[in-house]
Amino acid sequence: MRLKLVPDETNWDFFKHRKITSGASFLMCIASVILVIVMGLNFGIDFKGGTTIRTESTGSVDVGAYRAALEPMDLGDVSITEVFDPSFGPDKNVAMIRIQAQDGYEAVTPEIITAAEAALQAVDPSITFPSVESVGPKVSGELIWSAILAVLGATGAILVYIWLRFEWQFAVGAVVALMHDVLITVGVFALFQIKFDLAVIAALLTILGYSINDTVVVFDRLRENLVKYKTMPLIEVMNLSVNETLSRTILTSGTTLIALIALLALGGDVIRGFTFAITFGIVIGTYSSVYVAKNVVLWLGVKRDWTKKDDTPGTQFSNIDA
C-alpha cells in the first residue's frame, strides 16, 4: 500500500472562480504597495548602516551570553555570528558583532563601542577586538539599489527564458506571477515589521527560482496538451494540465515546507527572517503558478498549433527542448 496525498486522477476546476482569485491577487498587491509606502520596511543593519566589531577569544563563542551582555545597552538591532575558518587554531574563536547606527549618527559612537567592548570583556576576559568597521548610510543606500537591481535582473532573465522556451504570453504570465509573489512577501514584511536585510533579498531571489520552476512544469504540460487536444477549449486544457501536475506540485511544495517550518521553529533569530520569507514565498508561489500565471495566459490567449510556421517574435523557439 502507498500513501496517496493526491488521487491518481483529479478533475478539479481551478478556474471556476478565476475572477475572484484574480481580484484578490490584485488587491493584495495594491495593499502591499500601500503598506510599504505608509509603514515602510524595518531595514536591518545592511540597509541602515552601523558598525561591525570583530572579536577573538581563546574561549568558545557564546552567542547567547554576548547578546545578554549587550541587551541592557538598548542598542537596537544587534547581529552576532560566529565565524568558522579551517585556518583557525583550536584557541582562536572569532565572532562578528554588528550594531545598527544610532539615531542622529551615521555610525555607532566611540563611547558606545567602548561600552560594548567592556560589557563583552565582563563575559569573557580573554576577548580582544582586532578590528572595528563602520558602514554609513551612503553605502547602505547603494546596497538597497543593488538589491532592487538583483531582483529586477533575475525577473528579466526569467522573462527572456520563458519567451524563448514557450511564447510571449507565457512569459508575461510567469513574470506577473513572480512580481505578485515578491510584492506580497515584501508587503507582509512591512505589515509585521519583520527585519528586512540582505538575507531576505537572498530569500526573494530563491522564491523567484522556486516559483518559476513550478510554473514551467505546468506550462510544459500545457503546451503538450495544447498540441494533443487542438479542439478542446483553452480553459479546459489548462484545467487538465494543472490536474495532471497537481501531485508533483503538492509533494514538492509539501516536502520543502516540512524542512522550512523546522528551520523557522528551531533555527533561531539569526535566520528567522530568511526562513520566514522562503516559507511564505513557497506558499504564495504555489498559489500564483496556478491562479495568477495561468489566468494571465488565459486572458491573453495562446497559439494552439505549433505545426504551422509562425515568425512572430517569441514563438520561433517554441519547439526547442530544454
What CATH number should be reported for the domain holding residue 35? 1.20.1640.10
Does 306 reside within a domain? no
Neighbouring CB atoms inside 10 A of 122's CB total 11
- What are the pLDDT tens digits along the chain (322 aa)? 555 656 666 778 888 888 888 899 999 999 999 999 999 888 877 777 778 888 888 888 888 888 888 888 888 778 888 887 777 777 888 888 888 876 666 667 788 888 898 999 998 888 988 888 776 655 556 777 787 888 888 878 878 887 877 788 888 888 888 889 989 999 999 999 888 887 888 888 888 888 888 888 888 888 888 888 888 888 888 888 888 888 888 888 888 889 888 888 887 666 788 899 999 988 998 888 888 888 888 888 876 655 555 444 444 444 544 4
Does 320 reside within a domain? no
Residues 119, 193 share a domain: no
Q: Are strands 42-43 and 195-196 parallel, antiparallel or unpaired?
A: parallel
Residues 156, 30 share a domain: yes
Does 312 reside within a domain? no
Residues 226, 106 share a domain: no
Residues 197, 131 share a domain: no
Residues 207, 146 share a domain: yes
Q: Are strands 50-57 and 78-83 parallel, antiparallel or unpaired?
A: unpaired
**What residue numbers bound the domain in which 233 lies?**
18-41+140-300
Given a contact cutoff of 8 angstroms between Cβ atoms, the answer to whether 70 and 119 are in contact is yes
CA nearest to 173, candidates 134, 212, 138 = 212
Residues 286, 145 share a domain: yes
User: How far is it, in rounded angstroms, from Cα 219 to Cα 297?
Assistant: 10
Partner residues linked to 131 by β-bridges: 54
CA nearest to 156, candidates 167, 142, 171, 146 = 171
Residues 210, 115 share a domain: no
Does 201 reside within a domain? yes
Residues 152, 124 share a domain: no
Select from 135, 154, 179 the last residue of a domain. Answer: 135
Q: Tell me the whole-structure pTM to 2 decimals.
A: 0.73
Residues 127, 156 share a domain: no
Select from 135, 164, 197 the last residue of a domain. Answer: 135
Residue in the block written with cell 516536502: 255
User: How far is it, in rounded angstroms, from Cα 82 to Cα 91?
Assistant: 14
Residues 210, 67 share a domain: no
Does 226 reside within a domain? yes
Does 11 reside within a domain? no
Residues 60, 28 share a domain: no
Overall domain count for the chain: 2
Residues 172, 32 share a domain: yes
